[in-house]
């Protein structure tokens, strides 16, 4: 079976890379041929190198990350500065090629759901073209509720499938917001929250892994 998952986040710095790294590592530990894919990077390439590491060398760094802009801004203005506009259809074809060669492709997005990739297209358009289920990483901090519900609404309006939401503990000691966020989100998104990634965790909860492994192969 072949499948893919798009990992997006509520905002920049919510933990998409760490979660994607954990997910690829956990799947591979179970014997699943999972690979990480970071279609575009802006600034350094640390996220892509993390996914290359998680994929156990099954992909080169340029396969993991085919588009790399050196300027640490959104892809569209970066492409304007550096030249070489993104071709989303070409990137989608690359993703589909990976999907044909591996069991599950974990695609880590850039920034948040509506980050501009071209003059007229956002990351949400790219995700819609891929047509893979969406895993939403929620940076569990003050403001997460607003960011979560705005993102979920945008995912649904785009016609994409939100399959799972995971809270990522971005700070070591939770404040009141971090403690109460999950209950509110679960109430508003019944059946979508599949678990939490604790601060500094190096393994995923079994419930998260089971849910996303099944999702990736749908």
**Which residues line the annotated binding site for Mg(2+)?**
17, 47, 108
Asked whether residue 87 falls in the same domain as residue 141, the answer is: no
| Mean per-residue pLDDT over the chain, rounded | 93
| Cβ atoms of residues 91 and 4 within 8 Å | no
Q: Based on the structure, what is the number of domains in the chain? A: 2
Which of 71, 95, 110 finishes a domain? Answer: 110
Residue 151 maps to a domain: yes
Asked, for residue 150, whether it belongs to a domain, the answer is: yes
Contact in structure between 96 and 112 (CB atoms under 8 Å): no
pLDDT for the residue numbered 216: 62
Which positions make up the binding site for ATP?
A: 47, 108-111, 168-169
The pLDDT confidence band at residue 218, using thresholds 50, 70 and 90, is low
Examine the domain organization and report whether 53 and 91 are in the same domain.
yes
Mean pLDDT of 10-23: 94
Percent of the residues in the chain that have a pLDDT greater than 90, as a whole number? 83
Whole-angstrom distance, CA of residue 73 vs CA of residue 95: 23
Cα angle: 13, vertex 160, 137; to 5 degrees? 20
Are residue 89 and residue 137 in the same domain, yes or no?
no
Q: Is residue 10 part of a domain?
A: no
* Average pLDDT for 59-76: 96
Give yes or no: 38 in active site: yes
Span of 37-41, 68-72, 85-89, 211-215 with lowest mean pLDDT: 211-215
Give the residue-averaged pLDDT of 90-95. Answer: 96
Q: pLDDT at position 200, please?
A: 82
Q: What is the mean pLDDT of residues 199-214?
A: 85
Q: Are residues 32 and 86 in the same domain?
A: yes
Please give the pLDDT value at position 217.
64
Identify whether 177 is part of a domain: yes
Q: Please state whether beta strands 3-9 and 40-42 pair in parallel, antiparallel, or not at all (unpaired).
A: unpaired
**CATH code for position 63:** 3.40.50.300
Contact 9, 127 (CB under 8 A): no
56/102 same-domain check:
yes
In-domain check, residue 180 = yes
C-beta atoms surrounding 208 within 10 Å: 22
The answer to whether residues 66 and 26 belong to one domain is: yes
Residue 42 lies in a domain: yes
Catalytic residue among 16, 25, 30, 38: 38
User: How far is it, in rounded angstroms, from Cα 208 to Cα 96?
Assistant: 24
In 3D, which of 126, 182, 134, 132 has the Cα closest to residue 155? 134
Say what the pLDDT of residue 95 is: 97
Is residue 3 in a domain?
A: no
On whether residue 82 sits in a domain, the answer given is yes
Domain of residue 169: give its range.
133-218
124-182 pLDDT, tens digit per residue, is 999 999 999 999 999 999 999 999 999 999 999 999 999 999 999 988 778 899 899 99
What does the pLDDT look like over 98-132, one tens digit per residue? 999 999 999 999 989 999 999 999 999 999 999 99
For the entire predicted model, the pTM comes to 0.94
Which residues define the annotated binding site?
A: 17, 47, 108-111, 168-169
Q: At which of 61, 76, 110 does a domain end?
A: 110
Please check whether residues 143 and 212 belong to one and the same domain. Answer: yes
Taking the CA of residue 98 as centre, how many other CA atoms within 13 Å lie in the half-sphere pointing to its CB?
A: 29
Among 79, 110, 141, the domain boundary falls at 110
């Amino acid at each position: 079976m072949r499948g893919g998952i798009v990992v997006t986040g509520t905002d920049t710095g919510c933990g998409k890379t760490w979660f994607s790294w954990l997910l690829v590592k956990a799947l591979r530990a179970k014997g699943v041929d999972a690979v990480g894919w970071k279609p575009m990077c802006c600034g350094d390439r640390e996220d892509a190198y993390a996914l290359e590491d998680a994929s156990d060398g099954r992909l080169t760094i340029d396969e993991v990350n085919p588009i790399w802009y050196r300027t640490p801004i959104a892809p569209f203005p970066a492409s304007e500065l550096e030249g070489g506009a993104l071709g989303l259809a070409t990137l989608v074809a690359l993703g589909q090629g990976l999907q044909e060669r591996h069991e599950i492709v974990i695609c880590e997005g850039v920034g948040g759901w509506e980050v501009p990739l071209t003059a007229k297209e956002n990351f949400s358009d790219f995700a819609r073209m891929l047509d893979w289920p969406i895993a939403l990483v929620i940076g569990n901090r003050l403001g997460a509720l607003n960011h979560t519900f705005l993102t979920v609404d945008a995912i649904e309006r785009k016609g994409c499938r939100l399959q799972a939401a995971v809270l990522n503990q971005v700070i070591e000691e939770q404040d009141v917001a971090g403690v109460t966020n999950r209950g509110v989100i679960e109430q508003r998104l019944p059946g979508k929250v599949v678990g939490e990634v604790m601060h500094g965790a190096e393994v995923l909860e079994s419930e998260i892994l089971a849910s996303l492994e099944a999702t990736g192969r749908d």
